[in-house]
């Protein structure tokens, strides 16, 4: 039985949840241990450890600003590999922020994971989409959010549903997308306004619109529109409020809205700059085998 270790807090919240979900699905598929040093245990209802049949999901309670132990382990093993030590015992699977995509749901990786070795995953671009679909219900159960964010998210949705029973969730990512990749992935608010109106016509009836954004001015702008709502929620509460909606429109490659789609098992329409999205009826559920969610 191998041990998979997530050693570093890599990227933002959606990146970390996405990586954990893929490696958790890998652990479930290959009967491996999984240890995560990248997230606090209190993110999830199950806390430190949760049984998964004969497999276990171990989740250390680490400080909010980084997992020193995991980072030191990664550096130690990386240094050992450069010197040719411990090759039969451990491997650091490093691919970098813009590195290649490491598909774990392959015969080659299945064979590697059948050995009793230690595998460290410090980066982000690891996917096991087939296994994530197969073990999706169990992954969602193990990663069920903590009670407080979920309660606040439900309160927000109840307020929306008082306006209309059908709620469209809209995630407008702005602050860091002005800078990331020289702003090439930023989608202006006007594009979301057009899509909201298109969705209203598609539904053919009254809807409520929940707006989530990292830019307060955008939230204020949309809240002034009839049937649009935004709430004073934190990062986690906004995320799970989106997951409780009936349909999602998200910003391009953002893993934040993709995670909400996976957790809530709801369709996600990704809005890219300068592109006309496909029909609403064909929007995929995030993390399905045909959904490319690498950012």
Helix (H, G, I), strand (E, B) or coil at 269: strand
Q: Are 124 and 93 in contact (CB under 8 A)?
A: no
**Helical segments of 143-228, H only:** 147-161, 189-203, 216-223
Name 167's Cβ contacts closer than 8 Å, sequence gap at least 6: 157, 160, 161, 207, 208, 209, 210, 244, 245, 246
Listed residue (123, 101, 119) closest to 110, CA to CA: 119
Structure-block tokens of residue 111: 């064979």
Structure-block tokens of residue 74: 């990664």
User: For residue 8, is pLDDT > 70?
Assistant: yes
What's the pLDDT at 53?
A: 46
User: For residue 170, is pLDDT > 80?
Assistant: yes
- Give 14's strand partners: none
Is 28 exposed, middle or buried, given 0-12, 13-18 or 19+ CB atoms closer than 10 A?
A: buried
Cα(33)–Cα(41) distance, integer angstroms: 16
3-state secondary structure 6-42: ECCCCCCHHHHHHHHHHHHHHHHHHCCEEEECCCCHH
What's the pLDDT at 238?
A: 95
User: For residue 283, is pLDDT > 80?
Assistant: no
Model pLDDT for residues 123-139, shown as the tens digit of each residue = 778 889 899 989 999 99
The model carries a pTM of 0.84
What's the pLDDT at 284?
A: 63
What's the pLDDT at 182?
A: 63
What's the pLDDT at 167?
A: 97
- Give 270's strand partners: 250
Q: If you average pLDDT over every residue of the chain, what do you get?
A: 80
216-223 and 189-203 helices, crossing angle to 10°: 40
Residues in the chain, overall count: 295
Q: Out of 108-122, 186-200, 208-222, 249-263, which region has the weakest mean confidence (pLDDT)?
A: 108-122
Structure-block tokens of residue 93: 């699977």
Helix (H, G, I), strand (E, B) or coil at 235: helix
What's the pLDDT at 98?
A: 55
What's the pLDDT at 94?
A: 67
What's the pLDDT at 88?
A: 61
Structure-block tokens of residue 98: 């813009």
Q: How far is CA 266 from the centre of its chain?
A: 14
Model pLDDT for residues 184-193, shown as the tens digit of each residue = 677 888 889 9
Model pLDDT for residues 55-79, shown as the tens digit of each residue = 555 555 554 444 565 565 666 666 6
Model pLDDT for residues 176-214, shown as the tens digit of each residue = 776 666 656 778 888 899 999 999 998 888 999 999 998
Averaged pLDDT for residues 148-168: 96
What's the pLDDT at 158?
A: 97
| Confidence label for 52 from pLDDT (cuts 50, 70 and 90) | very low
């Amino acid at each position: 039985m191998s041990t998979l270790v997530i050693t570093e807090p890599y990227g933002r919240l959606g990146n970390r949840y996405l990586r954990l979900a893929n490696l958790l699905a890998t652990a479930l598929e290959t009967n491996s241990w999984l240890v995560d040093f990248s997230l606090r245990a209190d993110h999830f209802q199950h806390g430190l450890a949760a049984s998964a049949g004969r497999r276990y999901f171990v989740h250390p309670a680490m400080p909010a600003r980084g997992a020193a132990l995991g980072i030191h382990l990664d550096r130690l093993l990386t240094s050992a590999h450069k010197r040719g030590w411990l090759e039969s015992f451990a491997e650091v699977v490093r691919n970098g922020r813009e590195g290649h995509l490491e598909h774990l749901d392959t015969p080659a990786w299945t064979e590697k994971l059948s050995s009793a070795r230690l595998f460290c995953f410090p980066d982000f671009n690891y996917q096991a989409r087939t296994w994530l679909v197969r073990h999706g219900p169990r992954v969602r159960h193990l990663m069920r959010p903590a009670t407080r964010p979920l309660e606040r998210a439900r309160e927000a949705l109840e307020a929306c549903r008082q306006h209309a029973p059908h709620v469209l969730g809209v995630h407008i990512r702005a602050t860091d997308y002005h800078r990331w990749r020289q702003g090439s992935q930023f989608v202006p608010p006007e594009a979301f306004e057009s899509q909201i109106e298109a969705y209203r016509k598609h539904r053919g009836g009254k809807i409520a619109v929940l707006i989530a954004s990292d830019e307060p001015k955008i939230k204020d702008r949309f809240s002034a529109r009839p049937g649009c709502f935004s709430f004073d929620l934190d990062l986690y509460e906004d995320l799970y409020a989106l997951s409780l909606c009936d349909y999602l429109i998200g910003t391009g490659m953002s893993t934040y809205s993709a995670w909400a789609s996976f957790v809530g098992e709801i369709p996600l329409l990704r809005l890219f700059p300068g592109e006309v999205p496909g029909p609403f009826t064909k929007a995929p559920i995030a993390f399905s085998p045909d959904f490319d969610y690498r950012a």
